Structure 1
Amino acid sequence: MTDWSSGSATIHACPPYRVRTVLRTLQDYGLIDTDIASSRTLHLGRRHDSDEIARDSITDLAHSLIQKAPEVAFTVYEEPDRHENGTICLHVPELGLYTAACDIFGNPTFTCADVVDMLSVPLGQRQHRLGLPWRRAIDALPTGPVDQQDTFAVEWNRSRSEIIVVEGLECGGDLILARPASTTMAVEAILATHGHRIVENSWTPADDTGNRMRAESYRYPRPTGFDAQIAWWIDDSSDPREAATRLLNLIKDSPSVPVILTDQHGRKFRVNLAAQPGDDVDLLPTACPDPNAAPL
């Protein structure tokens, strides 16, 4: 049986291509209702309160928002009850996540021991423990509505090795890609290199054969630099060199960005799309965290 609590969420910054994801995440954690979640607008600076959030879930909500929408700035907190302190989480992309105990209004609270300890540290560290850099950054952010980006119709014809994004070109017109792909994940990775991301759970069959699929996409910044990597899965190759060769042949005109390739044994390899088939493939250590473990 779920133990319920009261909490609040306020989004302070969100790019248009993250509006849908943020609204759905807030709904999943009980902070907004279906009507708000299905809207196309997120109001920055507006507080969403709920008396029906699962107890001790606010930290999970914070990490979920960061994982799904790392560009978002937010304040979320769960009110205290008779037995436990509340918890507040502040996130600003440039600063990271701040977490502290809080009162019923979401104000951070500290014990006497905390205060005594803070008096012995430099001013900068004291302000950091108090969450002041986060507060200042959030106070400087503008408020107001952010509209969800328009979506585009995506058609994938597996037998013809063709992917079409209707009116998907930035200059107007259909984006047509003649690329072989065996899975929807492969299609999503190809589209990511062309600035499109598939709307979650939007793939549907377009016929009874399974050769044609439809989905929706939205514009998404193209990956650039090492911090923007593409998670890739090759399900029928146990040889990393062969898998890398297939990947390079599949995406011939992609930008020069690193790719994380995972074979069916769970091994991860780093591949650069600027390389040529047959070039060395670096094996990532088993313990190396995958920065894009979440699906595209």
Structure 2
Amino acid sequence: MPDLWMPGATRLDIGDHAPTDGGPAKVIAHITWDRNASAAKPTDLVPYTDLRSYFAGGGVGVAPHILWDPFEGHFTQFVPANSRSKSLVDAVGGTRTNRAGSVVIQIEALFFPYCRVGTKVYPRLVDTPCKGWADLQTWVQSWGVPNTWPMGHPTDFTSHRSESVWETTAGWYGHSQVPENDHQDPGSWPDFVGTPTPSKPKYEPFPGAAFFASGRHSPIIAAMHKRLIAEGCNRYQTQTNIDVWGTGDERSYAAWQRKLGFSGQDANGIPGPTSWAKLQVPNV
């Protein structure tokens, strides 16, 4: 059996262990994002010991499995790998986000955008030294988590969520990719060590019906917009804000669904996996 406690990590057991539900093994990548900074106003990094004390004290109800300091390579573990932790929002009656896998290992990287360490400012997590990352990856992989990102390797603070992918596919997920949650972190995450970076798929994967909500802002919407026009399904009244989901998108997508032979509720203008695959929206 793999190690319940990550080798080399400080063990700070907060108790409150509980089993997971079984299923595809997962890891959730978070950043602590304990301060808001900007390029114009960078802010000093919060001390690692402060976050460690928080998760063992007032923040025990949202503690992850692992707190990782990517600047110094320190780790603290609060619950064993085979227990759920409570770092995710878990709505009543939905998928049990904190338990939905044989393991659901949650990692909080000590980081926020434009944090300052000494005289250097770090806009993204991947800009840090990422010390200890190889050891963390090795331990996670020992629990059967493959070196893949089923919803895409996070490169920005855009949210992409698909409950069907989440429930059926093992791998690494950003907090921005977990159902029932509205966080947009981690923004970036280091590449897997010793693993070839997979080529980007030619077409944009189906992001889930819930993605297409009024006001959703995304380059995926803009790419879809252009494809609908190319397919002769232009029902737009304006060509402004093409990256924001609205009524024009719904009318145009309904025309695409009807073109494919769908009718009734199957042509309601909300993308589904079959019509989306046939539209072949370029990967953005």
**TM-score, structure 2 length as denominator?**
0.25
* Rg larger in structure: 1
More strand as a share of residues: 1
More RCO (CA 8 Å, sep 6+):
2
